[in-house]
Amino acid sequence: MNKPEFHIFVCNSFRVSGEPQGICNKQGAADLLQYIEEELLDRDMDGMVSATGCLKVCDRGTAMVIYPQNLWYGGVTEERIDEILDALEEGGVVEDYLIS
Ligand code: FES
């Protein structure tokens, strides 16, 4: 198995029951998964994207984490994802959207 260079986790607010109930899901996090997937392909980036349960930073949703860089981003939108992936390609970060 080829392991990706990085893994992006997007909060989709899944609860223990499996139901997506939370701010990130209500803000359209499910659509961001497809968007990121397509961006990674377009950019030929060796990354993977997955949906997660609540990341416990709901007041900063929609939340997204990138490992192994351990970057936590909040208020994620398609426009911000473009900036975040631009920075990731260069080995950088977008400080304005970081959750610290
Ligand atoms: S619902 Fe997304 S961080 Fe809690």
Q: Give CA–CA dist 94/78, Å, rounded.
A: 14
Domain membership of residue 1 (yes or no) is no
- Which residues form the domain of 80? 6-97
Whether the full predicted model's pTM is greater than 0.85, yes or no, is: yes
For residue 1, the CA-to-ligand 1 centroid distance in Å is 31
Q: 44 lies in a domain?
A: yes
- Average pLDDT value for residue range 58-84: 96
Q: How far is CA 4 from CA 27, 46, 67, 69, in A?
A: 28, 5, 10, 13
Neighbouring CB atoms inside 10 A of 11's CB total: 29
| 90 occurs within a structural domain | yes
Distance 74 CA to ligand 1 centre (A): 10
Domain CATH number, residue 14: 3.40.30.10
Out of 10, 54, 64, 65, mutate this one to test ligand 1's pocket (max ligand atoms within 8 Å of CB): namely 54
Q: Which residues does a 6 A CB cutoff place in the pocket of ligand 1?
A: 11, 13, 22-24, 54-58, 61, 63
Above 90 in pLDDT, residue 97? yes
Q: Is residue 33 part of a domain?
A: yes
What is the rounded average pLDDT of the residues 71-77? 97
DSSP 3-state assignment of 6?
strand
Cα 11 to ligand 1 centre (Å): 6
Q: How many domains does the chain have?
A: 1
Q: Express each pLDDT in 16-67 by its tens digit.
A: 776 767 889 898 899 999 999 999 999 999 999 999 999 999 999 999 999 9
